[in-house]
Amino acid sequence: MGNATQTVQTGHEQKEAAFARLPVLVVAALAGVALLATSGRYAHGFDELYFLMAGRDHLAWGYFDQPPLIPALAGAMDSLFPGSLTALRLPMTLATAGGVVVTALIARELGGGRGAQVLAAGFSATSGVIIVSHWIGTYVLDPFLWTVIVWLVVRWVRTRRDGLLVWAGVVTAVSLETKFLIPAFWVIALLSALVFGPRELVRRPKLWLGAGIAVVATVPTLLWQAKNGWPYLIMNEVVSAEFPGTWPFLRDGFLTAGVGVGVLAFVYGLVLLIGSRGMRDHRFLGVAIVALILAFLLLHGRSYYLMSVFALPFAAAATGFVKHVPRWRLIAWPAVVLSAVVTVAGLPIYPAGMTRTSIGPVTLGSSFAGGELPQRDLAKMIGETYASLPPEQRARTAVYAEIYPFAAAVEFYGPQYGIENVYSGHRGYWYFDKPPETADSVLFAGFDPGLLKPYFAEVTPVVEGLLWRYDGRRGSWNEIWPKLERH
């Protein structure tokens, strides 16, 4: 395989480096195998259970806090492979491995040869994205979709093949069914193109054809949001209220690029994209990424939003490093191997009972158990309490959870204890359903017993600080339910 293959020259099209297929696929496969081997541990995460229950039992065109794709995907995987953690998480494993490959393809578009492509794949495969990909989630699939969109745009810059912009619109449509963040990328990237070039990007009809495809595909979700009072706008306020502060945001966001080589590659890649003459054709994207980081910061977004913009700086860093650093292999590969060790240490490779969850700044994968197993134990406790009620009392008792993770856990594990429905006023669960009028008693799981106290005559502690029983409902659920909505 040569260092470069000549392509037909049209317009701005340059020589295209050969794709380092075998080594790149090996790196992606290693990342995928690491995820696949650990995906059966330990139990469902709380967001996973929420996605799963939303898609399996409450399928809709939209939700309070997200578009419908991830819930639908989670529900479908569980219906095909009931209870299988490995199957549930398989789409994220494939997407993450795919992201490694596409990052290498971006390096190829930047002029990177075999070494740069494999190095870019290595940066991607040892980043914190791999660790987060243990779960199925919007925050896992969307970075892959952004990476594909960036690759299509970068390839368009080199080839000026406008069909790529249509495909970018198609992938944008999928991203809009995952999260509503991708419009921020397009707005800032196009404004940046107007300032730094290529200005003709904005004038391409097929760019706007792709945009039209994305808009049309999103109409059902937008109609759901409109019908329900645009609850996603409230979710923006929820995210802002949880903002940890400037330093924690930047620290966590940048460290997710990889403790070690990843964060250095991310910063170095941004510097090259903005300041290197050799990458001036892509300066608009480098500026756009910096502007996005600032926008996420100023709007009090979540630090993991930065995962969506790692690929291009990784590719630029790999390309620049190979080009400008003599004997780069002696420096790069030991650093990548060390980062790989840190990444594997962050996966759930440990016994479930291991109590240590970190070594210095490195979070160990044993922390997954601390977030996943207690939910199953909580559901068991609530389920056994519910099953122990006399049949006539059980028939008129609804199970209510103060927060959506509790609701999802009990709804998932509950059928073995006779619990078919769980109710909550928290976030998306408020939109799912309210208890039937026949339920004049409630088994309440949460932290604030005063939440339902005004609507019942009696409250009895069952498990102090966690579980209560309410009896003697005052008023109908139609009257009570609007007062229980919480964000």
Angle of helix 138-159 versus helix 283-298 axis, rounded to 10: 150
Retrieve residue 461's tokens: 């502690």
Query: pLDDT category, 259, cuts 50, 70, 90?
Result: confident
- What pLDDT, on a 0 to 100 scale, did the predictor assign at position 14? 59
The residue ranking higher by pLDDT, 12 or 208, is: 208
For residues 71 and 38, state if they share a domain: yes
210: in domain: yes
228: in domain: yes
268: in domain: yes
For residues 286 and 401, state if they share a domain: no
Q: What is the number of domains present in the chain?
A: 2
For residues 297 and 237, state if they share a domain: yes
For residues 286 and 434, state if they share a domain: no
How far is Cα 449 from Cα 156, in angstroms, rounded to an integer? 58
Cβ pair 442, 394 in contact under 8 A: no
How far is Cα 249 from Cα 239, in angstroms, rounded to an integer? 12
How far is Cα 97 from Cα 108, in angstroms, rounded to an integer? 17
358: in domain: no
CA distances from 91 to 43, 150, 168, 397 (A): 17, 21, 21, 38
364: in domain: no
| Residue 12 pLDDT greater than 80, yes or no | no
For residues 421 and 474, state if they share a domain: yes
Structural Rg of the chain based on CA atoms? 25
| Residue 67 pLDDT greater than 80, yes or no | yes
For residues 229 and 307, state if they share a domain: yes
pLDDT tens digits, 295-306: 999 999 999 999
Average pLDDT, integer, range 159-178: 98
For residues 177 and 227, state if they share a domain: yes
- What pLDDT, on a 0 to 100 scale, did the predictor assign at position 17? 86
Average pLDDT, integer, range 319-346: 93
Q: Give the list of residues 6+ apart from residue 363 with CB closer than 8 angstroms, or none.
A: 346, 357
- What pLDDT, on a 0 to 100 scale, did the predictor assign at position 4? 40
Buried b (16+ CB within 10 A) or exposed e, 217-234: bbeebbebbeeeeebbee
Phi and psi dihedrals of 349, rounded to 5? -100, 5
- What pLDDT, on a 0 to 100 scale, did the predictor assign at position 362? 84
How far is Cα 84 from Cα 79, in angstroms, rounded to an integer? 10
Query: pLDDT category, 406, cuts 50, 70, 90?
Result: very high
* Mean pLDDT over the full length of the chain: 93
| Residue 84 pLDDT greater than 60, yes or no | yes
Read off the DSSP letter of residue 418.
T
| Residue 328 pLDDT greater than 70, yes or no | yes
Average pLDDT, integer, range 275-302: 96
For residues 278 and 328, state if they share a domain: yes
Query: pLDDT category, 13, cuts 50, 70, 90?
Result: low
- The enclosing H or E element of 360 equals none
- What pLDDT, on a 0 to 100 scale, did the predictor assign at position 199? 96
pLDDT tens digits, 19-60: 999 999 999 999 999 999 999 999 999 899 999 999 999 999
- What pLDDT, on a 0 to 100 scale, did the predictor assign at position 360? 81
How far is Cα 74 from Cα 87, in angstroms, rounded to an integer? 9
- What pLDDT, on a 0 to 100 scale, did the predictor assign at position 11? 41
Identify the domain containing residue 72 by its residue range.
4-345
- What pLDDT, on a 0 to 100 scale, did the predictor assign at position 139? 93
